[in-house]
Amino acid sequence: MATRILWADDEIDQLKPHIIFLENKDFEVTPVTNGEDAITLIREQPFDIVFLDEQMPGMDGLATLNRIKTIKAGLPVVMITKSEEESIMEDAIGGKISDYLIKPVNPNQIVLTIKRILERRRIRNEKFAQSYLRNFNEISGRIHEETGWEEWIEIYKQLTQWDIDLESGDESLRQVLADQYQEANKMFGRFVARNYKSWLSQSTPQRPALSTDIVGEYVLPHVKNGQTTLFLVIDCMRYDQWLLFQSLLNEDYAIDTDFYYSILPTATPYSRNAIFSGLFPLEIEDIYPDLWSQGEDESSLNQFEEELFAKQLSRKGIDKKVKYEKVLRTDEGRDLADKIHNYLQVPLSTFVYNFVDTLVHSRSDSDVLKEIAPDVPAFRSLTKTWFQHSTLYEIFKLLADEEVVIVVTSDHGAVRALRDTKVFGDRETSTSLRYKYGRNLSANDDAAMIIEDPAEYKLPTPGHSNNYIIAKEDYYFVYPTNYHRYQNRYRDTFLHGGTSMEEMILPIATLRPKSML
């Protein structure tokens, strides 16, 4: 199969001899005159490599490059420039571009560049493929009924890293990985259903850290030691997304990443309130009924995080001054970045960033975003692009020379929901797609964890509800009425609330500026 080249240059007509030369060498070349057309074609067609003129009118080469990396992060791009500008070399070193050439270029340069880049990619992909296949049986052997919570973390870490390493590799191999991931989540769902309730008992010594433990175990020790501390919760951030964020922070920070398990349901009203209160949902309702309300609008169910956080600190004997900010909009992030050094004047500041969760919900409702991020690798790349250009990343850069410890985590992750399962309940049942509470709810046991006594799981029962169901693996709940309509509407959306590894096993990282060490 011929190597497919996309060449974008506003003077492409002058490069006709180069194109003919490449075609005579059995390369397939698609020429375009601008970045917009290049982006359109990359969305519609597969290419092996892109040659990109740096200086094009309209969307220039660097802007086009950033869009390409959002759509297909692993696609090699060669920048063609008029001079050896330092910024171009920095991009090459940083991995944004695979190489760069100085004008004028000759056809043999092009051929050698193509072979060098594609051969390098082939060798890299082959190495990863061979390594994964060697480890396949070892990973499969660890996925069984008796796997413990610590080993599930290691399995999830391995599968996530393979998913990143193989994202530009052979599709058949990626399918093997996807099947292994699915089998792992199947067993993980059974594991959670069998063990979760026992974790909620205060007499259980061997259990993972849960949402309720985060502040006490990971944040307050730094505060008690007199260290200025920032606690950052990125709503709906998965481990694979954190790995990409971390790759951008490694230059400035020493990073230690641990893991904890989100409480169920893995949804903001439950998991994030549990983090800030240090209590399970039923305990919040019992102790602070005025700070707990349950309804369908998730954004309204976390109105009292600051108050719950203050009460947790008081219970733990912390009387130091703290600050709390929730960032929902770009202008709020800008304002926070502008005054970030003010937050270093108090022992503990806490920030909640909602952008990743917003992106998850936006993708569900937007055909454009689904086209830009059609699968997990593309969605992962999209979140990395957001982070690179966010005020949050700017804040990390501003704090890199300060005496501060930053604790970063998420309240829950999200899973790409690809399979529907029928749920039966009355009209008062909650509308969430990965978990529901209501009266006498029922669903397929293979697809859902059924909670008949919510109090045993430290969950409240609002209204006339008497049970919960929580989706396993990548299932989402659909009512029998209007079944096909909702089946099609919600298939291939990123959802949360269930028992998958992606939703439950979450990173919690401690960052120390290298300037402190």
The pLDDT value given to residue 148: 95
The pLDDT value given to residue 88: 58
The amino acid present at 41, given as its one-letter code, is: L
Residue 321: C-alpha distances to residues 27, 77, 272, 274, 343 (Å): 65, 50, 21, 21, 11
The pLDDT value given to residue 168: 72
The pLDDT value given to residue 86: 57
Concatenated DSSP letters of 347-416: SEEEEEE-HHHHHHHHHHH-HHHHHHS-SHHHHHHHHHHHHHTSHHHHHHHHHTTSS-EEEEE-S---EE
Could you tell me which residues come within 8 angstroms of residue 179 by beta carbon, excluding any fewer than 6 positions away?
A: none
Asked if 18 and 43 touch (Cβ cutoff 8 Å), the reply is no
The amino acid present at 87, given as its one-letter code, is: S
The pLDDT value given to residue 213: 96
Tell how far CA 261 is from the center of its chain: 16
Q: Which CATH superfamily is domain 4-105 in?
A: Response regulator (3.40.50.2300)
Could you tell me which residues come within 8 angstroms of residue 459 by beta carbon, excluding any fewer than 6 positions away?
A: 264, 270, 280, 281, 282, 437, 451, 468
Asked if 235 and 326 touch (Cβ cutoff 8 Å), the reply is no
The pLDDT value given to residue 93: 46
The pLDDT value given to residue 90: 61
Please state the pTM of the whole predicted model: 0.80
The pLDDT value given to residue 58: 87
- d(CA 23, CA 42) in angstroms, rounded, equals 20
Residue 47: C-alpha distances to residues 4, 82, 439 (Å): 5, 25, 53
311-318: long-range contacts at Cβ-Cβ below 8 A with a sequence spacing of 24 or more? 311/277, 312/215, 312/276, 312/277, 312/278, 312/279, 313/215, 313/220, 315/278, 316/215, 316/216, 316/220, 316/278, 318/220, 318/223, 318/224, 318/348
Asked if 482 and 489 touch (Cβ cutoff 8 Å), the reply is no
Compute the residue count for the chain: 517
- d(CA 160, CA 165) in angstroms, rounded, equals 9
Map out the domains of the chain as residue ranges. 4-105, 127-199, 211-413+503-516, 419-491
Rg of the Cα atoms in the chain: 25
The pLDDT value given to residue 83: 66
10-residue averages of pLDDT along the chain (517 residues): 89 91 92 93 90 89 85 85 64 67 89 86 78 89 92 97 84 90 96 95 81 97 95 96 94 96 96 96 94 60 89 92 91 94 95 87 77 85 89 96 96 96 87 92 94 95 89 94 85 94 98 88
